[in-house]
Amino acid sequence: MFLDSSFLNIDSGFQPAAGRLLIAQPFMNEPYFGRSVVLLSQHSEKGSMGLVLNKPLKLFLHEIVEGITIEENIPVYCGGPVGSKSLFYLHNIAEIPQSLSITKDLFLGGDFLYLLDVVNAGLGLEGKVRFFLGYAGWDNKQLEEEIKHQSWLVSKMASQDEALLLSGTETLWGRSMKAMGGKYKRWADFPQNPNLN
C-alpha cells in the first residue's frame, strides 16, 4: 500500500498535556502501544505519564487485591510497560482523599482504603473507576520526539466517558481516530499490518 507523505503528516494542532489523549498511529506494531489510546495523566518538563485505556488483561480486581468482598468481576487493564506490578486507578470520585486531579472530572489514585470501601459498598463501578497494572512513561522531551517522528496523534481532552468506559474498549482506537475527523477517519480502517492487506 502506497501512502503519500501528506497523508502521514500527523498534525492535530494539539500539544501534549495532562488530560489529553494520545492515539497510536495506524502502523505502530508494538504489544503495549499498537492501536492504543493513552490518557496523559501528567506532562511537564520532567517527563510524561499516562495510562493505556484499551488493553484489558485477563485479570479481575479480586484476584490481585485482598479485601474485595463483593462478587463482581471488576476488570483490570494494562496501563503500560512501567511498574507492571503496581496498581493504578482512574476515577471520577472527587471525594477520594489525596487524588491527583487530571481534569475537572477525572482523578488518579488517592486513598486506597477509602476506594476499597466504595468498591465493597456494591453500588456499581461502571463509569466511575478503572483499574490498571502499570503505566506508560516518557522521560523529558521523549514524548515530544515520538510525536515529531509520527508515532502519536495528540487528541482533544478526554471526557470521563471515554476514560472510564469499562466496555467497548476493543473499538476505542477506531472511534477515537474517527472522532478526529478529516483524513484521520480513513486511518481507523487501515489494517495494522499493511502486508496482510
Higher pLDDT, 166 or 122: 122
Residue 66 is predicted with a pLDDT of 94
- pLDDT tier for residue 130 given thresholds of 50, 70 and 90: very high
Kindly tell me the burial class for residue 148, based on how many C-beta atoms sit within 10 Å of its own C-beta (0-12, 13-18, 19 or more): exposed
The pLDDT confidence band at residue 195, using thresholds 50, 70 and 90, is low
Of 47-56, 126-135, 173-182, least confident by mean pLDDT is 173-182
List, for residues 142-157, the tens digit of each pLDDT value: 999 999 988 999 998 8
Backbone angles phi, psi at 3, to 5 degrees: -125, 125
Kind and range of the H or E run holding 43: strand 37-44
pLDDT at 127 over 90: no
Q: Given a cut of 50, is residue 5 above it in pLDDT?
A: no
pLDDT tier at 76 (50, 70, 90 boundaries)?
very high
When pLDDT is cut at 50, 70 and 90, the band that residue 180 belongs to is confident
Look at residue 106 in the predicted model and tell me its pLDDT.
95
Between 6 and 68, the more confident residue is 68
Q: Tell whether the model's pLDDT for residue 105 goes beyond 60.
A: yes
Regarding beta strands 82-91 and 75-78, do their DSSP bridges make them parallel or antiparallel, or are they unpaired? unpaired
Q: How far is CA 128 from CA 15, 92, 159, 164, 165, in A?
A: 27, 6, 12, 6, 8
3-state secondary structure of 86: strand
Average pLDDT over residues 49-58: 96
Could you tell me the pLDDT band of residue 165, with boundaries at 50, 70 and 90?
Answer: confident
Q: Give residue 194's pLDDT.
A: 54
Report the top-level CATH class of 5-196.
Answer: alpha beta
Domain boundaries defined on the chain: 5-196
- Residue-wise pLDDT tens digits, 79-96: 999 999 999 999 999 999
CA-wise closest residue to 164 among 120, 103, 113: 103
**Residue 9 — very low, low, confident or very high, per pLDDT cuts 50/70/90?**
very low
